[in-house]
Structure 1
Amino acid sequence: MATSSEIYLELVELSGHVVAKGAWSITLRANCLYHSAHLAKPGRRCRLLQGTREITPFTPLAALDLRLGTCLQVVWLSSSAADRRSHGYAFVAIKENGSVVTWGNAAHGGNCSAVARLLTEGVVQVCGNDSAFAAIKASGSVVTWGDANYGGNSSAVALLLTEGVVQVCGTNGAFAAIKANGSVVTWGDAACGGNSSAVAPLLTEGVVQVSGTDGAFAAIKADGSVVTWGSAEAGGNSSAVAPLLTEGIVQVCGNNFAFAAIKANGSVVTWGGAEHDGISSVLAPLLTEGVVQIYGTKYAFAAIKADGSVVTWGRAGNGGNSSAVAPLLKEGVVQVCGTNFAYAAMKANGSVVTWGDADHGGNSSAVAPLLTEGVVQVCGNDFAFAAIKADGSVVTWGDADHGGNSSAVAPLLKEGVVQVCGNDFAFAAIKANGSVVTWGGANYGGNSSAVAPLLKGDVVQVCGNHSAFAAIKADGCVVTWGAANYGGNSSAVAPSLTEGVVQVC
């Protein structure tokens, strides 16, 4: 029971699941609530909403209007530091009874008929790579389907996947499963990390987190050490920095071809292949302490430090060189988001700073007056950015054909937007009234006119893959649009998507 000096709150997902609840001191700011949410899904970023009002990490708890209730809505963002953007070609829906429905490109996981009898109940989580899916069941067992060469066939390790699995992570063509005893099981394309035999003795216990690049894995152990395997050119060989990875690692982030690890003392260690430029001697002194978060684009990294400054490295054309905006990145940055080629940093004052490839989001000068204040979320697809402002309006920039130009739907984006989701080529915005607005590559989900009557209200979640979208409505039905062969057309399984869906991935 909260006292007069405390405030009782519940953090609730769109599905109705309570992420966290309890009493917090009224003298605190909302960053304590974000921390509680992140404990539920480590590495994931989220937004907190009270009705349609954005609760930022800097919002004083004393400023919350309890007349609106004690429930805050948790909206998990589509991209994160821990999870690279999905480029899959199919969708999977988990229903409230634990069954699974799949559609999209059959060769890439859209057809699960071979294992359908194992997916009729008990599924609690699904992880996908580019060509296959792996489902964790309540029993701790794992079921896989999709391209056999890239993780869709796990028969070689089947006996190790019958129980105890708590997390699955994917590269482009392989999977790694963490078990409750801290061991790791891998399968799929050996060149993408599917074969971990070279480091097997190090993966029998103590693993607490696994991250991936396109072709390699990095596992953090409870003692703070890191174990890597997979393609050396993609970060699978960390021997050059091995002495620095024996202890103290608290986070590992991967881009396409390299890893960056944060140590408990705030320093950074990087390794990877030829596509990774590494940390220059000029930048190295800036990364010896104080780093709290790292974000990766295709070939670059950006690190946020405790003082709110940002340090970048890697390919200049992918955001690795931020010297042109360096004075604006010395303080106050609270979030960084990337396309494949550029970065956007949101500052505590609600302004946005961009850098990287000018044509793909690195140059926001055309909308600069709209980005000086009030921004509460930035979302990127492969080629463009979309920013939500506190008044519910949306600002876009980057490649015009792939979401950087939203003028065709501008009147619909002036107010009420609470979430934006991107696939590779387009964006979809959910409004407070549950309607959806889309723009970008018309054939890839930017044009939703074919299903427009179904998107006028009650949408609670939108998920994007390579070139299509799927929306869950409040009654548990699913609406799809975009490239038909990649999941935009779900007519083949339509009767199974009319009710009861709680998650789409």
Structure 2
Amino acid sequence: MLKSKSVLSYSILLALVGCGGGGGDEAAKDVAESITEQITDSIPELDGSKDNPSSEDDTAKDNDTVVITPPTVEPKPKPSPEQPPAPILPSPIPEPKVVITLGDIEANKALPIDIECLSCGDIYPRIGIDTDNDEVFDRFVDYPDPLVLTPDDIGKKIAVWVWGDSDLISVDSFQRVGALTTLYADGIASQAMLRASGEVAVWGDPLYGADNSNMTFDYNNPVQAIVPTTTAYAVLFADKSIQSFGEADRGGDTSAVSSQLNKPVRKVVGNAFAFAAVHEDGSVTTWGESNLGGDASSVDLSASDKTVNVFSDDYGTFYAIKQSAKLVSWGFEAIAEQQLLSNTATIHSNSSSVVANNGFAGIQCFGNVNRGGTCPVGAGTMDVKDIYQSMNAFLAIEYDGTPTAWGINVDNFDPADFSIPDHKVALAASNGVNFALLRNNGTIIPVGTGSGELDPALINTGLPFTDIKGFRGEYVALREDGKALYWDSASTELITLPNDEAITEINTNAQYIAYTGEQGNLYLYDANADSMTLVVSSKEKPIAKVFTSRFAMTALHVDGSATVFGRIGDGGSASGVDLTGNNMAQFAPIAENTTLHQDKQSTLIKNGEIAHWGDSTIKFNSN
């Protein structure tokens, strides 16, 4: 239960000590001398119905200041010569009382934080931020009031204090660290990621987008999005401006539309050859290959009927939804203007046909009548969560797990396979040719003919499956026991990692399958060479996320550094590009009630470095 308080001023001294052993007089001296970091906080007064923890201290009351320090270690009595020293037993590590959960930290948004205390009474959390890196926290809110972060706040240290009725329960400090963040984009032969310093790092073939020497970056104007074509990138900044780099003809040069891009941009979208920028006034600017989306003169994209959203296919077509719910398109496979049922629809295309998901209003289909342009029966009442596409068909999964397939070569789809709750669809995948559906009971049902089509009895021979990915016209699925099953139209192969390390994650692109193991090893299977290689060892830094481009991959480590692998000339090598996590800010271990707990030392979880004092833990819940 949370209660608000009025303001007092506190100075909290945290004792930062080293990781080594020691005890007795020396330990006491070390701890006492280590109280060097001062965190200044203004905290509210306790609820009037509760006793004020500082009310008994007249000096504190007069000066409105209380100093709270973690207790020091009392010297242990030296044993007598006749008595051997008592053995030093490991201290039990209690379950944390305070649990703090953080989401993705973004500029111009409230800090996504949830604070709860297990087995506590009333708690009084306060959040502060050190805006000028002087180790003094100078802006505060009383939780659950929001702490809105400005662009300048990104990367700054944030602390959370939690009080009980009369004492401090915990102090937690964290900040965004690492050389790289999870903002990522890829072209056909290059990869790009955002550094924590605010710059975009790019690597691969310079002729295919891996050259951003024309770019200028300002940490006070952070990057909001990196969007690729096959050989160029557009970068959207916090001030709503756009810069681009890479192959000029495919969007790397904005000089022809520079005057139009002077207006604030709220979103930028790319297909394989061109970009479309949606302005805040509802108009749209396009550039790149003219006949593949770079020229939108055939449609009205002015602000008279504002554009609400823009979508693209995987090749050379854009689709814009207007405020009037009209759908207009331009580029390689443009369709005639259509009237949608909602201007909040999402658009899905296989380059021959288009499906608009109108939410509760169902779906609409346009384009090639044989390749998905004719909707299935009941389309207007479908409540669709996900839509997948192959070259010639579509697959819709409703919120209750009911699937529907339509188009060419999906005649083997049988709704009876998904009629009971255990047989509803949890996940689906497309290999570009057809589909494979993972049901709630862990079994897989292929849908569609051609490559990857296989009798379900040959697939579902062992333990349940938990994930599935399409790969080069074939499929690979992760099984509950940490093994993977790979199959084509003729046979299956069970994949196991060396030393029986369980597979925890699978990632695929046009040439490789990356298997991440539970011990932190990452193995890369090269389909062209039919070989498996260890590319990240568990002895190295743990992996937070794996990103895939067409012919290469990047493993982002929890410290913000990255390991690049795949086809060397197509983004699989970052030679000459610094992808280390060398701008990390390290925290010293913190003494907790005179006992150093190893798990209470500085702990790295995904994209945050955290330090503790008291009974607490921080979790990162990244999207």
- Say yes or no: TM over 0.5: yes
**2:598 matched residue in structure 1:** none
| Cα distance in 2 for residues equivalent to 1:21 and 1:382 | 41
Where do 1:214-363 residues align within 5 Å?
214-231=315-332, 234=333, 236-239=334-337, 242=338, 244-245=339-340, 247=342, 250-272=345-367, 277-279=371-373, 284-292=376-384, 293-316=386-409, 321-330=410-419, 332-360=424-452
Name 1:78's counterpart in structure 2: none
Deviations 1:150-188 (A, max 9, x none): 111122222333463232221111111223333322111
Closer, same or farther in 2 for the Cα pair 1:204/1:469, shift >3 Å?
farther
Shift of 1:284: 3.2
Counterpart residue type for residue 258 of structure 1: S
Deviation at 1:209, TM superposition (A): 2.6
Partner-residue secondary structure (3-state), 1:277:
helix
Amino acid at match of 1:300: A
Provide the residue aligned with 1:428 in structure 2: 514
What is the deviation of 1:394?
Answer: 3.1
Q: Give a deviation string over 1:357-397, Cα, whole Å, max 9, x none.
A: 443366555332237x3x33322233333333455443332
2:485 is matched with which residue? 395
Please state how far the C-alpha of 1:20 moved relative to its aligned partner.
5.3
Which protein is richer in helix relative to its size? 1
Q: Which runs of 5+ in 1 are unaligned?
A: 25-84
Q: What is the deviation of 1:347?
A: 2.1
Q: Contact 2:467–2:479 (CA<8 Å) still a contact in 1?
A: yes
> Does structure 2 conserve the Cα–Cα contact (< 8 Å) formed by 1:290 and 1:305?
yes
Describe how 1:145-160 pairs up with structure 2 within 5 A.
145-160=245-260
The corresponding residue for 2:124 is none
- 1:107 alignment partner, SS class: helix
Q: Secondary structure at the match of 2:198?
A: coil
Deviation at 1:484, TM superposition (A): 0.6
The residue number in structure 2 matching 1:81 is: none
User: Does the Cα contact within 8 Å between 2:223 and 2:235 map onto a contact in 1?
Assistant: yes
TM-score for the superposition, normalised by structure 2: 0.59
What is the alpha-carbon distance in structure 1 between the residues aligned to residue 210 and residue 579 of structure 2?
14
Contact 1:171 1:215 in 2 (8 A): yes
Matched, 1:109 2:201: no
DSSP 3-state at the match of 1:360: coil
Count of residues in correspondence between the two structures: 416
Identity across the alignment (%): 22
In our comparison, the structure showing a higher alpha carbon Rg is: 2
- Equivalence for 1:176: 276
CA pair 117-467 structure 1, distance change in 2 beyond 3 A? same
Q: Deviations over 1:119-161 (max 9, x none)?
A: 8873232111222111112222111112211111122222333
Letter in 1 for 2:514: A
Aligned equivalents of 1:436, 1:14: Cα separation in 2: 28
AA partner of residue 488 (structure 2): G
In 1, Cα distance between equivalents of 2:289 and 2:441: 46
State the one-letter code of the partner of 2:560. G
* Post-superposition CA distance 1:394-414 (Å, at most 9, x none): 33323899xx7563x445676
> Deviation at 1:111?
1.7
- What pairs up with 1:194-205 in 2 under 5 angstroms? 194-201=294-301
**1:323 positional shift:** 2.2
Q: 1:395 to 1:353 in 2, by over 3 A?
A: same
Q: Could you list the runs of 5+ residues in structure 2 that have no partner in the other structure?
A: 4-97, 117-184, 585-605, 608-623
User: How far apart, in 2, do the equivalents of 1:19 and 1:258 lie?
Assistant: 41
Checking the alignment, whether the CA contact within 8 Å between 1:448 and 1:481 is kept in structure 2 is no
The aligned runs of 1:20-31 (5 Å cut-off) are: none
Amino acid at match of 1:360: G
Which structure has more RCO (C-alpha within 8 Å, separation ≥ 6)? 2
What is the Cα-based RMSD across aligned positions, in Å?
A: 3.7
- Amino acid corresponding to residue 141 of structure 1 in structure 2: S
Q: Deviations over 1:5-64 (max 9, x none)?
A: xx998464699x99955599xxxxxxxxxxxxxxxxxxxxxxxxxxxxxxxxxxxxxxxx
Amino acid at match of 2:562: V
* Partners of 1:362 and 1:249 in 2: CA distance: 38
Say yes or no: does 1:128 pair with 2:217.
Answer: no
- Structure 1 counterpart SS, 2:256: helix
The 5 Å alignment of 1:43-192 reads 88-113=188-213, 115-118=214-217, 122-162=222-262, 164-192=264-292
> In structure 2, what is the Cα distance between the partners aligned to 1:238 and 1:413?
55
- The 8 Å contact of residues 275 and 293 in structure 2, kept in 1 or not, is answered as yes
Amino acid corresponding to residue 269 of structure 1 in structure 2: Q
Partner of 1:31: none
Distance in 1 between residues matched to 2:232 and 2:282, nearest whole Å: 24
| Matched-pair contact (CA < 8 Å) for 1:261–1:269 | yes
Aligned residues of 1:104 and 1:488 also touching (Cα < 8 A): yes
Q: 1:324 to 1:294 in 2, by over 3 A?
A: closer
Residue 385 in 1 paired to residue 475 in 2? yes
Contact 1:339 1:385 in 2 (8 A): yes
CA contact (8 A) 2:104 2:112 kept: no
Compared CA separation, residues 265 and 246, structure 1 to 2 (3 A): closer
What amino acid maps onto 2:244 in structure 1? T
**AA at the equivalent of 1:415:** A
Secondary structure in structure 1 of the residue aligned to 2:387: strand
Aligned counterparts of 2:343 and 2:223: Cα–Cα separation in 1: 35
Question: Are residues 201 and 100 of structure 1, via their aligned partners in 2, closer, same or farther at CA, if it must alter by over 3 Å?
Answer: closer
SS in 1 for 2:572: coil
Q: 1:9 to 1:229 in 2, by over 3 A?
A: farther
The offset of 1:477, in angstroms, is 1.6
